[in-house]
């Protein structure tokens, strides 16, 4: 199958650059699957997994905390607020962050406002969902 260039970058660093067969990401409008020749698109990303499928079917999963996805006919660029390889995520850390944000939401921690607490719950839950996807894929391999 035809490949295209894919770059995943965050404010801190370049996470991935290379030729891929397909990119799957979750935008604010739903899940997008992108192949070479896709219509040019610019959309906001929700926190969650970005799947990179290489020529031959090998898959890598990354976590983005939000950002934008730009699609050109032969290139996909993910401009993430922050991004990590899914295998580098720490489930215990994500669960702790989610629990702290939930406590703040219930008024037990007055230093965090409501909108910030909701955003942190969403990001922590998305990290856990990404880890779950990674575990499921490894189990199916």
Amino acid 122: pLDDT: 74
To 10 degrees, the CA torsion angle through 118, 124, 125, 130?
Answer: 150
Query: Bigger pLDDT: 90 or 31?
Result: 31
The pTM assigned to this predicted structure is 0.70
Q: How far apart are CA 111 and CA 93, in angstroms?
A: 20
Name residue, tokens 């910030």. 116
At 90 the three-state DSSP class reads coil
pLDDT tens for 54-102 read: 988 999 989 898 899 999 989 999 999 888 887 776 667 766 776 777 7
Same domain assignment for residues 115 and 59: no
Query: Bigger pLDDT: 33 or 116?
Result: 33
Q: Which domain holds residue 128?
A: 89-140
Mean local confidence (pLDDT), 110-137: 70
Mean local confidence (pLDDT), 7-31: 94
Domain boundary residue, one of 68, 85, 102: 85
- 37 neighbors 3 (Cβ within 8 angstroms): no
Amino acid 113: pLDDT: 72
Same domain assignment for residues 16 and 43: yes
Domain boundary residue, one of 45, 63, 85: 85
Distances in Å between the alpha carbon of 10 and those of 49, 70, 95, 118?
A: 14, 14, 23, 22
């Amino acid at each position: 199958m035809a490949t295209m260039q894919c770059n995943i970058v965050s404010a801190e660093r370049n996470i991935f650059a290379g030729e891929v067969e397909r990119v799957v990401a979750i935008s604010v409008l739903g899940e997008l699957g992108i192949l070479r020749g896709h219509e040019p698109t610019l959309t906001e990303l929700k926190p969650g997994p970005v799947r990179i499928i290489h020529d031959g079917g090998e898959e890598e999963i990354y976590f983005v905390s939000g950002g934008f996805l730009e699609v050109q006919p032969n290139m996909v660029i993910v401009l993430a607020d922050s991004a990590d390889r899914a295998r580098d995520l720490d489930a215990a850390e994500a669960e702790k962050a989610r629990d702290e944000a939930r406590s703040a939401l219930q008024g037990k921690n007055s230093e965090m406002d409501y909108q910030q607490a909701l955003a942190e719950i969403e990001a922590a839950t998305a990290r856990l969902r990404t880890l779950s996807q990674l575990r499921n894929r490894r189990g199916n391999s």
